[in-house]
Amino acid sequence: MMLDKRSPYQEGSLWYYAPNQGAPISFAIMFAVSGMVHIYQCCQYKSWKVTGLLPWSALLFTAGFIMRTIGAFGQWGNVGIYIASTVLLLAAPPVYEGANYFTLGRILYYIPYHSPIHPGRVFTTFVAVGVVIEAITGNGAALVANSEATEGKRKTGEGLLKAALILQLVLMAAFVALAARFHSNCHRGGVLNGKIKRALYVLYCSCTLITVRTIYRTVEYFSATSLNIYSGGNQISPILKDEWFFWIFEAVVMYLNTILLNVCHPMQWLPRSNKIYLARDGITEIEGPGYDDHRPVILTLIDPFDIVGLIKNKGKQEKYWEDETVSKLSKGSPGPSAV
């Protein structure tokens, strides 16, 4: 069989090629360091409830690259190593997305009067859907990566991966649209100060990096499922047989994302408590009772936008930010002493 000389075929390798040995070691170390920095920052900003997923996602990448390192040293045909590496590396990026959902929720709590939805529903809506996508991704990757699976199961796994990757793109588009709507509301309301701008810009950059990676994975798996047993080397897409695609569009892109969130940690611009909000003057911080939803929990999950309440004209949240009796904390940046 004639093969492309740019990417030599490795007999018995589940990756098609013999994986690079040095790169996975380097990225395992770099993600581990980033994860430790995230742990320190979660403690520094007391933000485990908001950014606690960041260390976890870095840990998943670290474990995934450790598995790939083991596979690179002569374990090219080890199904268990290949499956572990594939599943861990596919599972990590959606966890970064989850961290972004929590961050946007905290931003919406900070300026609740311009939030398109109840801030707490960012978690229940996007993270809940993200968990479903994560489960679909994990199951699909395990079926596709298992060379001992039947053809029917492999086809099922391919279908699950296609659906999961496309759903990730749709979910990200919906999330960015929500953030952009809030951004526009704040701009029109005259409360879009520098700190909120920076937090939103970091969010947009992170979403862009994750989307680039998701598009790469989508193209990769659609290319893989178009192959058959008669496909020669020249018929195989370069995205499958050239390893550099993986290192650029998966490893480098996602490392830039985790470093971005280390250097520009969003909680340096946001209050520690979701009861602290920005007054309409765009400067004064006020501690209020919080933005609560008194509906049953099951109803908030089914109808996060409270469409039923809007139809019945009962969906109006109490505007506690208009209460003049609440205490004004300060003028300027979010106070680190807030609990």
Ordered by where they begin, the domains of the chain are: 22-268 (1.20.1070)
| Best CA proximity match to 217, nearest among 271, 284, 140 | 140
| Best CA proximity match to 175, nearest among 129, 138, 114 | 129
Q: Quick: pLDDT tens for 218-260.
A: 888 778 766 654 455 566 778 888 889 999 999 999 999 999 9
The sign of the dihedral angle between the CA atoms of 122, 125, 127, 130 is negative
**Structure pTM?**
0.81
Q: What DSSP assignment string belongs to 32-92?
A: HHHHHHHHHHHHHTT-HHHHTHHHHHHHHHHHHHHHHHHHHTT-TT-HHHHHHHHHHHHHH
The CA distance from 153 to 155, in Å, is 5
Residue 79 Cα distances to 7, 44, 67, 227, angstroms: 22, 41, 11, 20
Eight-state DSSP code of residue 319: -
pLDDT of the chain, 339 residues: tens digit per residue? 333 444 467 777 788 788 889 999 999 999 999 999 999 999 999 999 999 999 999 999 999 999 999 999 988 888 899 999 998 998 899 899 889 999 999 999 999 889 888 787 887 788 778 788 878 877 887 777 676 777 788 788 878 888 887 888 899 999 999 999 999 999 998 899 899 999 999 999 999 999 999 899 888 877 876 665 445 556 677 888 888 999 999 999 999 999 999 999 999 999 988 888 888 888 888 887 766 666 676 666 666 666 666 566 554 456 666 665 555 655 554 544 333
